[in-house]
Structure 1
Amino acid sequence: MISLDLSSTAIRALSSSMLSCPKLENFDLSDGKFIETFNLHSRSLRTLNLDGCSSLKEILVASEKMTSLDLSRTAIHALSSSMLSCSKLENFDLSDCKFIETFNLHSGSLRTLNLNGCSSLKEISVASEKMISLDLSGTAIHALSSSMLSCPKLEIFDLSDCKFIERFNLHSRSLRTLNLNGCSSLKEITVASEKMTSLNLSGTAICALSSSMLSCPKLEIFDVSDCKFIESFNLPLRSLRILYLDGCSSLKEISVTAGEMMGIFLSGCKLIESLNLHSKSLKELHLGGFSFVEEISVASEKITKLKFSSATIPSLSLSIGHPLSLEVLDLSGSNIESFPANIKNLSMLKELSLRGCRELVSLPELPPSLRKLCLRDCRKLMSLPEELPPSLIVLELDYCKLMSLPEELPPNLDIYTLEFGGVFKTAGKIPMLRGFTLNKRRTSS
């Protein structure tokens, strides 16, 4: 026998004397709710799964070949080298072991260690020459230092939702991904890594960021969303591709220059007054919730999607360098009143969304490339341009109080809605439409 599955059984105890399976490699006892002690010595066992053995408090495992051990959701209080003799162990899962307060492990083989959700864990010491992934998310750890972690090949480090960490200092040559999302007490950070590509500081209490705090020359994805205390962002991150600043409600100034930047997300940054972004490769920009912004300047040769929703922009000066590449323009929820006539020159524009723009009074001639036009809940809009783009296939007019429609509608229109709008008349013929909805009180001729 090489595989034995006793998961979800009512077994209360197991020992080597109860099992005579000299070639057993895979043993599954997951969700054995009544097992309180486990003692096993094996020369052949490679994987042992005790996940969900919620009564398990004591364990003794010895195996020369074991590579994977899962003790997640058990009632184990402590672990020591004398309890585990698995010289080739590579993957160790202790997630959601709520009673472990300290953890001390030195291993020459361990590659992944998962302590996610060990909410009582306060002290840790880990040493492994081969470890590449360490998950300490949701633990009660207060501080970390290089002396506590000796993992020279660590690539992925997750400390998300560690609510008690106030300072973080890490220098690594191998780390690629660091997650500090939700570390709500974290105020000071110093990170240096030659290989880091992803850094998540969202939801922390950090007040400022500077070049001296971050030395990550290959950083590509940086998440600082919901950092409520940051007032300015100005970092020379040349390799940055994606930047998240959503919900940074104190942010007033931002300056980003990154040659490889592809996307910036700034929704909910209410205090920003001006925005200057320069990146030759920027493709996607999300803005919204601005109250005081007066000028936006975007210089990009490749921008294809601009989302600017829920903002107060009656006299916004919007400057987009090389706008001809723009494919999606979303101004939903803003109080924009009108568009410049040169919008028709956006020759690549395929989607224009103006949902909830209740101050919008008129629309100029639209680009012929437009395929989707969303005007839902534009309550002051009384009419459409005399001619709609011939390529238009989606038209949303719900809750609009239009008094008339163009004489001719695009021949390929597939979706067309006019829920709860005003009474209108059209001299032209309404084409065959899929999904056409018309309130019975309306008339057409």
Structure 2
Amino acid sequence: KTAVEICRLPLRTPNFTGMPNLEYVNFYKCSNLEEVHHSMGYCRKLIRLSLSYCKSLKRFPCVNVESLESLSLGYCSSLEKFPEIHGRMKPEIQIHMLGSGIRELPSSYFQYQTHITDLHLSFMKNLVALPSSICRLKSLVSLNVWGCQKLESLPEVIGDLENLEELDARGTLISRPPSTIVRLNKLKILKFEKRDGVHFEFPPVVAEGLRSLVHLNLSDCNLIDGGLPEDIGSLSSLKELYLNGNNFEHLPRSIAQLGALRILHLRDCKRLTRLPELPPELNELHVDCHTAMKSIHDFVTKRKKLQCVIFESFDYEDDAHNDYIYNLFAHALFQNISSLRHDISASDSLSENVFTIVHPRKKIPSWFHHQGWDSSVSVNLPENWYIPDKFLGFAVCFNGSLIDTTAQLIPVCDDGMTCITQKLTLFNHSECDTELSGSLKRDTEFAIHFLLVPLVVLWDTFEANGKTPNDYGIIRLSFTGEMNKYGVRLLYKEEPEDETLLQMRLNNNEPTEHPLRKGIQQR
């Protein structure tokens, strides 16, 4: 075998005319190399040629591909023209162009390489179009053009790629994908997340198409009302929908029909006036806090499987403001449960629903009067703490992983009265932990979880033997799992001071001080 491996070259390669048996050439990271000698086109036995990271390479006239199995042009950022091809390509040839400056792809490459399953063209900064011959690649499973910042369109017959499962077109100038894209019924992952200034429109009708689509990313696409198909609800397999940073005021009503949807991202949608009716199986919602506050009643009353509400727009440096937001969320969440008092009486399901927010400070909101680090907490209940038709239960907040909690009411006097004990298994919380998206899994250590222990779930009339809740003076909560911090608060219906503050928040009239926290400290 004959090989040439040079790490430091002058501006051009040597003349290869006297090397007819050359098989391997490695010019990897030859940062000064500007030109490959045209005699490279006569090397018929060449098997592997690597020019990756030759960032100064500008001229590469031709290459003989009769024996070539691998050609690496990755990150040749100054190379704008693909070399002229001599000979017929072998079916097994692999050409790597990731991050190169090539403007136009050779049609002949796709004409003979019908076996290709993965085509990675990411970060080709000068690529303006894809040849229609790409659509002859009937075995293609993955097409990646992420970061091709001048790419304006996809081939009109993109729908002919009948086996395509993943299309990543993030960071391109594509504004209107061809209508044939909906024929890609094996497509599972579709990403069009954009750069600033690109206005995007999805094909207006998707019914009967994209039947296998699981993941759709249209974040930062400058979508306005009408930019999403009205029949988006027909995407029956869709589990993850990313719509961050768009400009719509309303979302299509058919989103409620996305029966498989588990994760929805709506962060930084500043013009969104209100959330639509959400899909029944939605588990995780990423949203700005002001939008969440407006829809928190629906979170509680209509979507019992929604446990993870992720706020990502905190001011990391402003602890006072963050505590204010925490307090607002906690108060709004638990107060809205009051509208379900009759449902609570009939079912203990709410006690097993956990709502989650994520923030690096991971502080227990000061709204929770009783806080600590132990695996259990005992709270002395004030005299006449139970007010009929007003007391809702015990609001609990924790950081960490909780499997179940045991709640125990202990009598005021030791006159033979027995404790009332109930164990609540948080099966939904465990399910939530296992189904979180990748980004949230990385942030679980920063998660703060909220749950309610309703009195009607804990109170056992038979065990009470004629006593009232006010005959019990201590509530003890024991936690099983990996708890780091906890907070507990007695929850009553209609707390006027907090309701007023919540209304200010809904009207986007935030006070310059944080009276909620101040009010809590004064109690």
Q: TM-score range by the shorter chain?
A: 0.5 to 0.7
SS at match of 2:35: coil
Structure 1 counterpart of 2:243, which letter?
Answer: L
Q: How far 1:79 moved relative to its partner?
A: 5.1
Of 231, 242, 265, which residue of structure 1 is paired with 2:242? 265
CA gap 1:220/1:363 in 2 versus in 1, 3 angstroms: closer
Of 315, 318, 332, which residue of structure 2 is paired with 1:362? 332
Spell out, residue by residue over 1:72-105, the C-alpha distance to the aligned partner (whole angstroms, 9 max, x if none).
212261155646746372x543211121433533
Of 155, 158, 163, which residue of structure 1 is paired with 2:117? 155
CA gap 1:106/1:374 in 2 versus in 1, 3 angstroms: same
Equivalent in the alignment of 1:142: 103
CA gap 1:101/1:187 in 2 versus in 1, 3 angstroms: same
Equivalent in the alignment of 2:91: 130
Identity across the alignment (%): 17
Asked if the contact 1:396/1:417 (under 8 Å) is kept, the reply is no
Equivalent in the alignment of 1:437: none
CA gap 1:411/1:185 in 2 versus in 1, 3 angstroms: same
Instruction: Output the TM-score relative to the length of structure 1.
Output: 0.63
Report matched runs for 1:184-333 at 5 Å: 184-190=149-155, 191=158, 192-212=160-180, 216-227=184-195, 228-234=197-203, 235=206, 236-252=209-225, 253-255=227-229, 256=232, 257-275=234-252, 276-277=254-255, 278-290=257-269, 291-299=271-279, 301=281, 303-310=282-289, 312-316=291-295, 323=303, 325-331=305-311, 333=313
Q: How far 1:166 moved relative to its partner?
A: 2.9
Q: How far 1:180 moved relative to its partner?
A: 1.7
Of 66, 77, 82, which residue of structure 1 is paired with 2:35? 77
Asked if the contact 2:41/2:64 (under 8 Å) is kept, the reply is no
Spell out, residue by residue over 1:127-166, the C-alpha distance to the aligned partner (whole angstroms, 9 max, x if none).
6232464332332322335246543333322322233333
Asked if the contact 1:140/1:164 (under 8 Å) is kept, the reply is yes
Q: How far 1:367 moved relative to its partner?
A: 3.2
Q: How far apart, in 2, do the equivalents of 1:220 and 1:321 lie?
A: 32
CA gap 1:374/1:300 in 2 versus in 1, 3 angstroms: closer
Q: How far apart, in 2, do the equivalents of 1:355 and 1:169 lie?
A: 55
Q: How far 1:300 moved relative to its partner?
A: 5.4
Spell out, residue by residue over 1:26-58, the C-alpha distance to the aligned partner (whole angstroms, 9 max, x if none).
xxxxxxxxxxxxxxxx36x7xx755x4355842
CA gap 1:261/1:381 in 2 versus in 1, 3 angstroms: same
How large is the RMSD of aligned CA atoms in angstroms?
Answer: 4.5
The reply to whether residue 410 of structure 1 matches residue 469 of structure 2 is: no
Structure number with the bigger relative contact order (C-alpha 8 A, sep ≥ 6) is: 2
CA gap 1:325/1:270 in 2 versus in 1, 3 angstroms: same
Q: How many corresponding residue pairs?
A: 351
Q: How far apart, in 1, do the equivalents of 2:323 and 2:71 lie?
A: 48
Q: How far apart, in 2, do the equivalents of 1:379 and 1:174 lie?
A: 54
Equivalent in the alignment of 1:24: none
The reply to whether residue 94 of structure 1 matches residue 39 of structure 2 is: no
Long gaps (5+) in structure 1: 1-41, 335-352, 398-405, 419-423, 427-441
CA gap 1:328/1:145 in 2 versus in 1, 3 angstroms: same
Asked if the contact 2:174/2:200 (under 8 Å) is kept, the reply is no
Asked if the contact 1:280/1:299 (under 8 Å) is kept, the reply is yes
Equivalent in the alignment of 1:58: 13
Instruction: Output the TM-score relative to the length of structure 2.
Output: 0.55
Structure 2 counterpart of 1:167, which letter?
Answer: A
Q: How far apart, in 1, do the equivalents of 2:179 and 2:43 lie?
A: 45
Asked if the contact 2:40/2:62 (under 8 Å) is kept, the reply is no
CA gap 1:49/1:244 in 2 versus in 1, 3 angstroms: farther
Long gaps (5+) in structure 2: 315-321, 338-348, 371-391, 397-404, 406-424, 430-444, 450-472, 491-519
Q: How far apart, in 2, do the equivalents of 1:94 and 1:215 lie?
A: 38
Q: How far apart, in 1, do the equivalents of 2:184 and 2:313 lie?
A: 37
Asked if the contact 2:66/2:89 (under 8 Å) is kept, the reply is yes
SS at match of 1:363: helix
Asked if the contact 1:332/1:356 (under 8 Å) is kept, the reply is no
Q: How far apart, in 2, do the equivalents of 1:183 and 1:279 lie?
A: 31
CA gap 1:425/1:271 in 2 versus in 1, 3 angstroms: closer
Larger helix fraction of residues: 2
SS at match of 1:312: helix
Q: How far apart, in 1, do the equivalents of 2:40 and 2:357 lie?
A: 67
Structure 2 counterpart of 1:287, which letter?
Answer: L
CA gap 1:145/1:323 in 2 versus in 1, 3 angstroms: farther
Spell out, residue by residue over 1:163-212, the C-alpha distance to the aligned partner (whole angstroms, 9 max, x if none).
33333333222322222222222222213422222111111122222323
Q: How far apart, in 2, do the equivalents of 1:324 and 1:115 lie?
A: 53
Larger strand fraction of residues: 1
Asked if the contact 2:168/2:191 (under 8 Å) is kept, the reply is yes
The reply to whether residue 113 of structure 1 matches residue 75 of structure 2 is: no
Q: How far 1:121 moved relative to its partner?
A: 1.3
Asked if the contact 1:299/1:320 (under 8 Å) is kept, the reply is no
CA gap 1:329/1:213 in 2 versus in 1, 3 angstroms: closer
Q: How far 1:265 moved relative to its partner?
A: 1.4
Equivalent in the alignment of 1:168: 130
CA gap 1:354/1:379 in 2 versus in 1, 3 angstroms: closer
